[in-house]
């Protein structure tokens, strides 16, 4: 059967053929009419030409007859003359009738023609009469004088114009007839061709229709066969409900189903329901054998209905089992206080537990099957949703140690999160997330951190007093000490130092565990560091009567490694002190270096008894001692090797040992060697000075390029040369290639970067007295048209951690005080009265005026009303941080230098607190440059370097 579209095309083809035939017929009729009209025009033109020729002929007959009569006098020659007159009048009237309705000739032409004809006839008549009266000779002379010839030529001209015009019109009509005939032939040919094509198409369509009918017949036979097989194969029961509501069974399978009379009441009830676009469906249970059937009823569109009864007994049981499992899974995940949820690739929650939903005061079903954008307040747990796209792209798992969330009640929670992909197929990936609530542990860690900070402050502050007082007594500042008391003082002084080391070890362990240990990795020559460590350990080795030597270096020429110099020195101090303590008096500790396969190995060998076998497995554990006698004989906390291993591993190295009982032990550490041809950052060339005298070179470390440029320009105007660096890494490269005279550090640098860099500089001998100014600049706005620099600066002489060496403080004070007649004034801000007393006693011999205060309020009042030449500032005060005075100090004229005390172990924290205060200052560019100039001019000279080394 033809489809509706095919029938439509057939109808359109027939309509097109009919229209084409009608057009061809209409065009033939128009062509015939045009030809008839042309024929009439041609006939009329021929008639006009014939009349013109007849009139010329009549005029010629009149001329010929009149001349014959004149010449001969014979009346017989007048017959053509008489006939010409009658024919001329007749043809004249006929011509006027033919030319009527034409635009040419017009009425004046006819008047001219008639006048000329009348004149010609009159001349001929007069000549004839004169011949009769006067004879031939007189008449001949008269004929020559009358101008008949010219008049005849004019008549020919008038008639020839009409004839020529008609001939032209005749030619145009002939051409038009030819064109019309040609177009008609072409159109007829095209129409016949199209009609022929349509006829062929009709034949093809008929043939195709016959083929389709044949194929449909075969398809219907095959469909009937398949339907029969389908009805036999499907387990469902099929029923028909005819227009009379009679139910009959269509199924031919062997699977038994409800009988028609049993299901008929249900089907009739379904028929009464409202029809809609979907099939009517219900579940029906056959009570005899407890089987459940799902019955669907749908209209066929032919007045009857088709019903399908499917046995869903097992399916319903599976669904019930699935619901039980889902309920069980729901109870399991809801009993867990941790956050559990599963999301698909579109971000839709497939499963979540109550703990997650409670964060936003909802139930799990409010989240499941929804994306976060559809869930109110879902942005609260947005940190838990990050990283899932990467997991589906191939990452094994994602672990986040700490994620902070705040619920709708404003309570902060901390979670440890793990995400893993769950692939159910090659294209389907779900992400399972489990977030363990570590809020309690986080609060405990915070409490521990606060406790350690407090203990650090509360222990180190009195230790500073104890250590300083004992140092003064031992040095004889308080007067001579009796001989009997000197050993007691030595014991007290030694154990105070031991207590300091114990506190430092405990705090180092805590920082390593918490991941807060700062490492300032630099490219260093390991041989130079080892030699410095050996030099530093000599006094300690002398106490034990042990010598320390470095074996001659025969092997590696390149000993460059990337380490934190201070931490490396701590590692070497631990290994060397451990070897010294376990070597016999008079023994030797040997240090060797050798390289192998890109690794530098540093060994420390002692001549002790070796390491017992049962102690080797736990030698790097905390508080590990071979036996209790070690503690009594050699001292120590058992933390040194544990700290050593952690420090070496953080510097990407390894530490271990080799030991032979009775022959001593060799502890080694291995570090990756750095290539001697490694690329160094290209240093920025210093500005070219136009004067012959060298200018002071200041290195500006400032990440804000606009502010750095403005500060450099201001310093140039005051006679300084500058280099700029946007990070401490760039600054290190510049230090390696230039002789830097002063340094300004930005308050905008990262705390770890700034603090570690400053601490690293102060630990290096060439830079102990390097002027370091902490400069806080207001960031430059990009949308501002005017560049205005504002900020403040404070000179930091040193940054000391409690317990403080009193001798070092006195030496720095001596170097910082100006050489002037008036007594220098020093402000000491310290909440511990014993430390204030100790410092006052230590500088009692100096000609200075010392004022001590315990709080920020007292210090602020003194700074606002008085001028001081030096400020010694503790960063932890009862009413706030000592850094709050920096803005006030920077605005003083002149700004005094500062020596910082801190009982906190992490200089990073102090650095963050200190530097950020300077940004509040409001010096403009010129004032800031003058302030920096003043601070540099007042900076202590390098003459106290040797005394300042500790």
**Which tokens is 874 given?**
């503790």
pLDDT at position 725 over 80: yes
Reported confidence tier of residue 423, pLDDT bands at 50, 70, 90: confident
Whole-number Cα distances in Å, 858 to 172, 823, 850, 884: 126, 22, 14, 13
pLDDT at position 836 over 90: no
Q: Which of 855, 893, 871, 906 lies closest to 798, judged by CA?
A: 871
What's the order of all strands across the beta sheet hosting 588-596? 547-550, 588-596, 599-605, 665-672, 654-659
Q: Could you tell me if 790 and 887 are in contact, meaning their C-beta atoms sit under 8 angstroms apart?
A: no
What integer is the mean pLDDT of 51-74? 85
Residue showing tokens 């319903």: 316
Give pLDDT, residue 623: 64
Q: Could you tell me if 580 and 567 are in contact, meaning their C-beta atoms sit under 8 angstroms apart?
A: no
pLDDT at position 691 over 60: no
Encode pLDDT of 499-529 as tens digits. Answer: 777 777 777 777 777 666 777 788 888 898 9
Encode pLDDT of 899-917 as tens digits. Answer: 777 655 443 333 333 444 4
- The CA distance from 592 to 552, in Å, is 8
The one-character DSSP state at 675 is P
Q: Could you tell me if 877 and 855 are in contact, meaning their C-beta atoms sit under 8 angstroms apart?
A: yes
- The CA distance from 28 to 50, in Å, is 32
Q: Which of 25-39, 235-249, 738-752 is the least confident region?
A: 738-752
Q: Which of 310, 230, 307 lies closest to 265, judged by CA?
A: 307
Q: What is the distance, to the nearest Å, from the Cα of residue 372 to the centroid of all Cα atoms in its chain?
A: 21
- The CA distance from 898 to 664, in Å, is 49
What integer is the mean pLDDT of 869-888? 79
pLDDT at position 941 over 60: no
- The CA distance from 574 to 619, in Å, is 14
- The CA distance from 181 to 32, in Å, is 9
- The CA distance from 585 to 518, in Å, is 37
Reported confidence tier of residue 784, pLDDT bands at 50, 70, 90: very low
pLDDT at position 693 over 60: no
Point out which residues pair with 829 in neighbouring strands.
Answer: 853, 873
Reported confidence tier of residue 142, pLDDT bands at 50, 70, 90: confident
Query: For the chain, what is the mean pLDDT?
Result: 77
Q: Which of 288-297, 548-557, 642-651, 939-948 is the least confident region?
A: 939-948
Give pLDDT, residue 811: 65
Residues in the chain: 950
User: Helix (H, G, I), strand (E, B), or coil: what is residue 892?
Assistant: coil
Give pLDDT, residue 743: 86
- The CA distance from 732 to 230, in Å, is 85
CB proximity list for 891: less than 8 A, separation 6 or greater? 792, 921, 922, 923
- The CA distance from 125 to 65, in Å, is 11
Q: Could you tell me if 699 and 772 are in contact, meaning their C-beta atoms sit under 8 angstroms apart?
A: no
What integer is the mean pLDDT of 661-669? 86
- The CA distance from 270 to 293, in Å, is 14
CB proximity list for 398: less than 8 A, separation 6 or greater? 387, 390, 391, 417, 418, 419, 420
Give pLDDT, residue 108: 83
What integer is the mean pLDDT of 87-94? 84
- The CA distance from 890 to 892, in Å, is 6
The one-character DSSP state at 373 is G
Q: What is the DSSP string of 87-121?
A: HHHHHHHHHHHHTTTSSSS-HHHHHHHHHHHHHHH
CB proximity list for 409: less than 8 A, separation 6 or greater? none
Give pLDDT, residue 297: 78
């Amino acid at each position: 059967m033809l489809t509706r579209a095919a029938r439509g095309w057939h109808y359109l083809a027939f309509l097109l053929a009919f229209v084409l035939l009608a057009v061809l017929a209409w065009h033939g009729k128009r062509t015939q009419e045009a030809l008839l009209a042309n024929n009439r025009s041609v006939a009329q033109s021929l008639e006009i030409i014939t009349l013109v020729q007849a009139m010329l002929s009549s005029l010629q007959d009149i001329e010929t007859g009149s001349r014959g009569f004149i010449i001969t006098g014979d009346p017989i020659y007048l017959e053509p003359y008489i006939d010409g007159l009658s024919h001329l009048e007749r043809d004249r009237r006929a011509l006027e009738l033919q030319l009527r309705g034409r635009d040419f000739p017009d009425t004046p032409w006819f008047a001219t023609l008639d006048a000329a004809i009348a004149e010609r006839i009159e001349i001929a008549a007069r000549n004839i009469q004169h011949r009769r009266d006067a004879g031939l000779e007189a008449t001949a002379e008269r004929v020559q004088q009358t101008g008949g010839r010219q008049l005849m030529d004019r008549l020919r001209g008038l008639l020839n114009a009409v004839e020529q015009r008609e001939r032209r019109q005749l030619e145009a009509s002939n051409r038009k007839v030819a064109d019309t005939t040609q177009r008609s032939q072409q159109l007829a040919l095209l129409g016949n061709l199209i009609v022929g094509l349509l006829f062929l198409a009709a034949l093809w369509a008929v043939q195709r229709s016959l083929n389709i009918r044949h194929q449909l017949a075969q398809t219907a036979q095959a469909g009937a066969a398949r339907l029969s097989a389908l009805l036999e194969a499907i387990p469902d029961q099929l029923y028909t409900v005819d227009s009379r509501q009679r139910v009959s069974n269509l199924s031919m399978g062997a699977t038994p189903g409800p009988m028609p009379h049993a299901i008929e009441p249900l089907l009739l009830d379904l028929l009464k329901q409202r029809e809609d676009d979907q099939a009517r469906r219900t579940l029906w249970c056959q009570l005899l054998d407890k089987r459940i059937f799902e019955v669907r009823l749908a209209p066929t569109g032919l007045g009857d209905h088709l019903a399908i009864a499917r046995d869903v007994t097992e399916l319903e049981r599976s669904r019930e089992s699935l619901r039980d499992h889902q309920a069980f899974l729901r109870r399991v995940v809801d009993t867990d206080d941790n956050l559990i949820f599963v999301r698909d690739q579109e971000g839709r929650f497939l499963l979540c537990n109550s703990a997650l939903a409670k964060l936003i005061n909802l139930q799990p079903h409010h989240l499941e099957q929804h994306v976060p954008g559809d869930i109110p307040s879902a942005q609260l747990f947005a940190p838990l949703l990050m990283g899932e796209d990467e997991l589906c792209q191939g990452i094994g798992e994602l672990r986040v140690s700490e994620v902070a969330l705040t619920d709708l009640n404003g309570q902060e929670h901390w979670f440890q999160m793990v995400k893993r992909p769950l692939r159910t197929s090659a294209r389907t990936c779900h992400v399972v997330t489990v977030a363990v609530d570590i809020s309690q542990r986080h609060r405990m860690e915070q409490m521990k951190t606060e406790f350690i900070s407090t203990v650090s402050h509360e222990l180190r502050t009195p230790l500073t007093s104890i250590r300083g007082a004992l140092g003064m007594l031992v040095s004889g500042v308080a007067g001579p000490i009796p001989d009997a008391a000197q050993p007691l003082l030595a014991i007290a002084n030694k154990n105070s130092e031991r207590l300091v080391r114990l506190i430092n070890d405990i705090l180092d362990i805590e920082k390593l565990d918490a991941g807060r240990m700062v490492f300032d990795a630099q490219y260093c020559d390991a041989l130079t560091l080892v030699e410095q460590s050996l030099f530093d350990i000599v006094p300690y080795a002398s106490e034990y009567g042990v010598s320390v030597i470095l074996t001659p270096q025969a092997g590696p020429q390149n000993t460059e490694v990337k380490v934190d110099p201070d931490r490396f020195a701590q590692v070497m101090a631990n290994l060397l002190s451990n070897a010294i303590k376990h070597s016999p008096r008079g023994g030797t500790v040997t240090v060797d270096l050798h390289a192998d396969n890109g690794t530098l190995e540093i060994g420390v060998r002692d001549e002790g008894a070796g390491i017992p076998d049962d102690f080797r497995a736990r030698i790097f554990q905390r508080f590990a001692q071979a036996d209790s006698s070690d503690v009594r004989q050699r001292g120590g906390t058992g933390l040194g090797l544990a700290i050593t291993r952690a420090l070496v591993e953080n510097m990407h190295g390894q530490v271990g040992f080799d030991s032979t009982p009775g022959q001593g032990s060799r502890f080694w550490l291995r570090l990756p060697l750095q290539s001697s041809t490694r690329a160094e950052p290209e240093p920025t060339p210093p500005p070219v000075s136009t004067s012959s005298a060298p200018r002071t070179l200041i290195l500006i470390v400032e990440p804000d390029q606009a502010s750095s440029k403005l500060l450099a320009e201001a310093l140039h105007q005051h006679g300084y040369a500058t280099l700029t660096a946007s990070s401490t890494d760039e600054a290190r490269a510049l230090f390696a290639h230039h002789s830097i005279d002063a340094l300004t550090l930005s308050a905008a640098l990262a705390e770890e970067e700034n603090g570690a860099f400053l601490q690293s500089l102060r630990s290096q001998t060439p830079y102990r007295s390097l002027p370091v100014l902490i400069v806080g600049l207001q960031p430059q706005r990009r949308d501002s048209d005017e560049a205005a620099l504002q900020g403040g600066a404070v000179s930091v002489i040193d940054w000391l951690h409690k317990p403080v060496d009193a001798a070092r403080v006195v030496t720095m004070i001596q170097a910082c005080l100006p050489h002037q007649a008036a007594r220098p004034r020093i402000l000491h801000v310290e909440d511990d009265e014993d430390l204030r007393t100790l410092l006052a006693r230590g500088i009692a011999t100096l000609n200075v005026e010392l004022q001590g205060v315990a709080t920020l309020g007292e210090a602020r009042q003194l700074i606002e009303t008085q001028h001081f030449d030096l400020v010694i500032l503790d960063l932890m005060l009862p009413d706030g941080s000592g850094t709050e005075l920096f803005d006030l100090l920077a605005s003083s004229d002149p700004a005094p230098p500062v020596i910082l005390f801190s009982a906190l172990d992490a200089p990073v924290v102090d650095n963050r607190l200190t530097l950020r205060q300077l940004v509040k200052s409001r010096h403009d560019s010129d004032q800031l440059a003058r302030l920096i100039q003043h601070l540099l001019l007042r900076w202590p000279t390098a003459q106290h370097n040797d005394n300042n080394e500790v």
